């Protein structure tokens, strides 16, 4: 329990120092309101991450000074988590999200209703990974969303804007139903992601050109 609380503490600490907008503050406050103790433990069984090699490769690539404490806390705690690939949890089975995403994603929930290390009925906070060279098609969802990009080399397309490269330590906020897509470069993409509410509603694919 201690190792996972440490990861969440490091996330909150980093976000508090780096967020700017009211919407971002709302997400951080929602995380802070979650009770993290023995009574809120889900009984998840830790497993070996299905994309272990990519997880370690991505984590070891992180060299930004400000992210090191969070990186180290993940390295110390990841074996206590339940890791899974999304094959229908976030998208309808016939959604056309593409094999690229389905074969190349992995996540572990630090907080969440069923698979989270700690339980919350409202909020999901997790570690999200995409393997190198994956195109994660543009999509949208009812939940507002905060991403903390831990690795370098990730390109984001938000709304109708052009692709922009985001550095390690950058924060992305997606308002409800605002489309966003990602392109991963040569390093596996590792991030922290949070949905403060509406976590039970599926994502909708938006087919745009690569």
For the CB of residue 45, give the shortest distance to Fe ion in the complex, in Å.
27
For the CB of residue 145, give the shortest distance to Fe ion in the complex, in Å.
5
Question: Is 138 one of the binding residues for Fe ion (CB under 5 A)?
Answer: no
Residues 143-172 that bind Fe ion (CB under 5 A): 145
Q: How many residues bind Fe ion (CB under 5 A)?
A: 1
Q: Which of 62, 85, 65, 84 is nearest to 75 (CA)?
A: 62
Q: Which of 88, 182, 185 is nearest to 137 (CA)?
A: 182
Say if residues 112 and 83 touch (Cβ distance below 8 Å). no
For the CB of residue 149, give the shortest distance to Fe ion in the complex, in Å.
13
Q: Which residue is nearest to Fe ion (CB)?
A: 145
Query: Which region among 18-26, 88-96, 121-129, 138-146 touches Fe ion (by CB under 5 A)?
Result: 138-146
- What phi, psi does 198 have (nearest 5°)? 55, 30
Say if residues 146 and 209 touch (Cβ distance below 8 Å). no
**Measured distance CA(172)–CA(34) in Å, rounded:** 22
For the CB of residue 76, give the shortest distance to Fe ion in the complex, in Å.
27
State how far Cα 177 lies from the chain centre.
Answer: 17
Residues 76-115 that bind Fe ion (CB under 5 A): none
Nearer to Fe ion, 77 or 195 (CB): 195
Residues found near Fe ion in the complex (CB under 5 A): 145
């Amino acid at each position: 329990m201690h190792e996972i609380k440490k990861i969440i503490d490091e996330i909150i600490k980093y976000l508090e120092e780096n967020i700017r907008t009211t919407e971002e503050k709302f997400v951080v406050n929602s995380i802070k309101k979650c009770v993290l103790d023995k009574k809120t433990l889900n009984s998840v069984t830790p497993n070996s991450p299905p994309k272990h090699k990519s997880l370690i490769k991505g984590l070891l690539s992180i060299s930004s000074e400000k992210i090191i404490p969070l990186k180290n806390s993940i390295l110390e705690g990841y074996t206590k988590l339940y890791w899974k690939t999304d094959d229908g949890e976030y998208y309808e089975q016939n959604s056309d999200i593409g094999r690229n995403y389905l074969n190349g994603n992995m996540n572990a929930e630090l907080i969440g209703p069923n698979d989270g290390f700690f339980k919350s009925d409202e909020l999901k906070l997790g570690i999200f990974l995409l393997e190198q060279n994956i195109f994660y098609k543009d999509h949208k969802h009812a939940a507002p969303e905060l991403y903390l990009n831990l690795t370098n080399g990730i390109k984001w397309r938000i709304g109708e804007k052009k692709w922009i490269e985001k550095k390690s330590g950058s924060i992305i906020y997606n308002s409800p139903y605002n489309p966003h897509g990602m392109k991963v470069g040569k390093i596996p993409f590792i991030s922290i992601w949070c949905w403060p509410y509406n976590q039970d509603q599926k994502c909708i694919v938006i087919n745009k050109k690569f």
